Amino acid sequence: MFYSWALSGFLIGMIWKWMFNSQIGVINDLLLKTGLIETRIGFLSDPKWAMISVIIANVWYGIAFFAIMLLAALQSVPSELYEAAEMDGASEARKLLSVTLPYILPTIITTTLLRVIWIFNDPTIIYGMTNGGPAGSTHILSSLMLDKIIYAGDYGAASAIGVVMIVLLLLYTIFYLAITKSEKTGDF
């Protein structure tokens, strides 16, 4: 289950690059065989498909982490709460909405926060799949910063991008902490 999370992001990008390949890729082959498309799609060469392809790979990469975290959260919900809800005549849907979700919501929020920060700071899947292309359509700030350093040698621009990234992550974290604080105190 956790194997996908243990692999290198660059390796994951290379695997998905092969799967999305317009000539020999598994995804195009499956779409053709099921009749969903008539001609092959250049997922990584078409700017309108490239970012969607990178997002799919990133979602797949993060599923294992989310699954493990949510499984741990679900196992920590006390069975007494379900018994009490059942004695009160709650349906399965009501137990989900009134017992399970409120109990695991902090884990969902924290896991989402961590995943956003990791994706924001990790350009490896993008480099493995598209190297920021086509025409820069799959760049995020961290991959753009690396491009400025590696290919352009523009350390000033890369430093400016790094400062912008720090400011954005700081604002995101402050917003997250404000939301969770108000949620705990009931000010929300």
Digit-coded pLDDT (tens) for 149-178: 999 999 999 999 999 999 999 998 888 888
Alpha-carbon gap, residue 4 to 63, rounded angstroms: 9
Residue 1: pLDDT band with limits 50, 70, 90:
low
Residue 105 has pLDDT above 80, yes or no: yes
Residue 142: pLDDT band with limits 50, 70, 90:
very high
Residue 110: the pLDDT is 87
Mean pLDDT score, 38-67: 92
Residue 184: the pLDDT is 59
Alpha-carbon gap, residue 38 to 32, rounded angstroms: 6
Residue 39 has pLDDT above 70, yes or no: yes
Residue 2: the pLDDT is 67
Residue 188: pLDDT band with limits 50, 70, 90:
very low
Q: What's the chain's average pLDDT?
A: 89
Residue 108 has pLDDT above 70, yes or no: yes
Please, which residues have CB within 8 angstroms of residue 64's CB and are 6 or more apart in sequence? Answer: 1, 2, 3, 4, 5
- Residue ranges covered by each domain of the chain: 3-139
3-state helix, strand, coil in the chain (%, to 5): 75, 0, 25
Mean pLDDT score, 71-85: 92
Residue 185: the pLDDT is 52
Q: Which CATH architecture group holds 3-139?
A: Orthogonal Bundle (1.10)
